[in-house]
Amino acid sequence: MNIRIGNGYDIHRLAPKRKLILGGIDIPHTLGLLGHSDADALTHAIMDAMLGALSLGDIGLYFPPSDPKWAGADSQKLLEQVNGLIRDRGWEIGNIDSVVIAEQPKLKPHIATMRDRLATTLAIEPDQIGIKATTHEKLGPLGQEEGIAAYAVVLLKKESSD
């Protein structure tokens, strides 16, 4: 069994008149995340961790913000593509663990739904995905609700050919 590990990080600014999409679900809130795509920071962190595990670069390489093609893109579609890159190379996800840093809203009630959504996109089981939510104790820009950030680590596995 071969294994590889990757980590990812993303942050997006909170802004009015935007949807708050995290882990592929629409979370009711007065502000949403600003970005070229749907700005799903958690999904982006997971994608970067998956790419990083195989030294395949980062999401900016595959989905450049300068390309109008990705304007308003559903990050679940992008995640599906990244999963394809991994699977094409014979790798599969062992598990994912992640942390979302958001002062508001409270994410705990949405975590099970996010895990289900990401598991469906990745064609894995929800128990292979950990999502933890924390505040930033009102410290700094994250604590002042200027943005939401996410960290992810991903373990990939592949059966040895020999």
Interface residues with Mg ion (CB under 5 A)? 10, 44
Nearer Cβ to Mg ion, position 44 or 117? Answer: 44
* Residue 37 labeled ligand binder: yes
* Residue 58 labeled ligand binder: yes
* Residue 29 labeled ligand binder: no
CA angle 22–102–44, rounded 5-degree value: 35
Nearer Cβ to Mg ion, position 45 or 119? Answer: 45
Nearer Cβ to Mg ion, position 10 or 103? Answer: 10
Nearest distance, CB of residue 144 and Mg ion, angstroms: 20
Q: Which residues contact 14 (CB under 8 A, 6 or more apart)?
A: 20, 31, 32, 33, 34, 145, 146, 147, 148
State the DSSP H helix or E strand holding residue 145, giving kind and residue range, or none if neither.
none
Nearest distance, CB of residue 2 and Mg ion, angstroms: 29
Distance of alpha carbon 134 from alpha carbon 138, whole angstroms: 11
Q: Helices H, strands E: what count in the chain?
A: 5, 7
* Residue 136 labeled ligand binder: yes
- Closest residue to Mg ion, Cβ-based? 44
Query: Which residues line the annotated binding site?
Result: 10-12, 36-37, 44, 58-60, 134-137
